[in-house]
Amino acid sequence: MAVMSAPAGGSRPFLNRRLAAFGTTIFAEMSALAARTGSINLGQGFPDTDGPAEIAEAASRAVLSGRGNQYPPGPGIPELRTAIAAHQQRFYGLTYDPDSEVLVTAGATEAIAASLLALLEPGDEVIALEPFYDSYAACIAMAGATRIPVTLRPSADGIFSLDLDELRNAVTPRTRLLLLNTPHNPTGAVLTGAELAAIAELAVDRDLLVVTDEVYEHLVFEGSHIPLAGLPGMRERTVAISSAGKTFSFTGWKVGWVTAAPALVSAVRSAKQFLTYVSSGPFQYAIAEALALPDDYYASFRADLARKRDILTAGLTAAGFEVYRPQGTYFITTDIAPLGEKDGLSFCRALPERCGVVAIPNAVFYDDQEAGRTQVRWAFCKRTAVLQEAVERLGRLAR
């Protein structure tokens, strides 16, 4: 079909006002740049090695034996909902009823979209920790709500942290929801028990809903992941979101989920049913098996990534970047100012040409452009040899 050059029906643009500010996602742009230039892609966060073969075989068995090839049940297959509830119990001691308190989604991305579309009225304010994952701003906009950023800033120890007073001051009578992400992409910050307790107190005090994006829950290198839903007063007001993509290295399968009290799950399901209705049929069977993998799996996955974090941290430091040590996730945020660079976006666009590596400019995750202008994010979920080669290439920047 030919692409129309002028909008039909007058001069009105096709893309509505809510989405007009959002161009192509930075991940698509930078992965295309990596492919075009044959660069090492430390931009988009996906592993270059697939997850466990036994889980891939479980998916293949499901397809071949006809399980999940037709529309699965709207809330997700019972086996997966049961496995998700068992996971919450096993790792956090949280009890959820698989039938009324668990919802399977098309990745965390759909869970975020469905939650915001279901829970927000136009004009509501949503507080999100800046820099924020790109889909948050778009989904808040699609819901007709307003985002209020609270900026994480590096403290003297080189770790990003949350200013609790800033968070408290951001709450207004219009605030409906806090959208939290811990472990935090792109900074690698992990909210502490004390920070989460203060957030819980604020949410109860101001009667706020909280949506927690916990997709990196199993990637914590320092401290531990604490689900907010387990804190006093939070169970009935928290929609917890996670996904199999990161934990099991199958980002293309798009199996995510929500755990929350029945009334919240039911609200989110109302939106979800009109977004995808259902998804990932056979993969749901495989992820049900993945969630039940022994503790060893989770521990060695984390240990492997901790080693990779150290390789890339050392390489980026040697190359002259200021490195903010991530406590979790598989990303490192750096500052390019010590290299005499002033703009992360231009730096990232030129980097393939300069040394054959792709990274992500954090500025796209900020409303406050100045705060993020010289920050650049690097993914370390890649094979060791690839990271070593990237480090070698980045070393040229310092020479």
Whether the CB-CB separation of 258 and 239 falls below 8 Å is answered with: yes
Nearest distance in Å: CB 32, ligand GLN: 11
* DSSP secondary structure string for all residues of 3-63: PPSS-SSSS--SS-TTTTT--S-HHHHHHHHHHHHT-EE-SS---SS-S-HHHHHHHHHHH
Which does residue 105 touch among ligand PMP, ligand GLN, none (CB within 5 to 8 A, set by kind)?
Answer: none
Whether the CB-CB separation of 268 and 101 falls below 8 Å is answered with: no
Size of site (CB under 6 A) for ligand GLN:
5
Whether the CB-CB separation of 283 and 106 falls below 8 Å is answered with: no
Q: Which residue is nearest to ligand PMP (CB)?
A: 107
Nearest distance in Å: CB 214, ligand PMP: 9
Whether the CB-CB separation of 380 and 331 falls below 8 Å is answered with: yes
Assess 108 for contact with ligand PMP (CB under 6 A): yes
Phi-psi region of 379 (alpha: psi -120 to 50; beta: other; left: phi over 0): beta
Mutual angle of helices 281-291 and 78-92, in 10-degree steps: 30
Distance from chain centroid for Cα 311: 23
Q: In the numeric block, which tokens belong to residue 301?
A: 């996955």
In angstroms, the CA 319 to CA 355 distance is 12
Nearest distance in Å: CB 237, ligand GLN: 26
In angstroms, the CA 30 to CA 334 distance is 17
CB environment 195-219: b (16+ within 10 A), e (fewer): bbbbbbbbbeeeebbbbbbbbbbbb
Assess 213 for contact with ligand PMP (CB under 6 A): yes
Q: Find the binder of ligand GLN among 18, 22, 27, 32 (CB under 6 A).
A: 27
Which does residue 27 touch among ligand PMP, ligand GLN, none (CB within 5 to 8 A, set by kind)?
Answer: ligand GLN
Which does residue 256 touch among ligand PMP, ligand GLN, none (CB within 5 to 8 A, set by kind)?
Answer: ligand PMP
DSSP E strands in the chain: the ranges are 40-41, 102-106, 125-130, 146-151, 153-154, 160-161, 175-181, 209-213, 238-243, 255-259, 322-324, 331-335, 357-358, 360-361, 375-379
Which does residue 107 touch among ligand PMP, ligand GLN, none (CB within 5 to 8 A, set by kind)?
Answer: ligand PMP
Assess 181 for contact with ligand PMP (CB under 6 A): yes
Nearer to ligand GLN, 287 or 360 (CB): 360
Residues 250-279 that bind ligand PMP (CB under 6 A): 251, 254, 256
The contact mask relative to ligand PMP for 26-45 (x = CB under 6 A, - = no) is: -------------------x
The contact mask relative to ligand GLN for 177-206 (x = CB under 6 A, - = no) is: --------x---------------------
Q: Which stretch binds ligand PMP (CB under 6 A): 68-76, 147-155, 249-257, 310-318?
A: 249-257
Assess 109 for contact with ligand PMP (CB under 6 A): yes
Q: Which stretch binds ligand PMP (CB under 6 A): 4-12, 50-58, 101-109, 141-149?
A: 101-109
Q: Which stretch binds ligand PMP (CB under 6 A): 78-86, 121-129, 238-246, 272-280?
A: 238-246
Contact residues for ligand PMP, defined by CB under 6 A: 45, 107-109, 133, 181, 185, 213, 215, 243, 245-246, 251, 254, 256
Contact residues for ligand GLN, defined by CB under 6 A: 25, 27, 44-45, 185
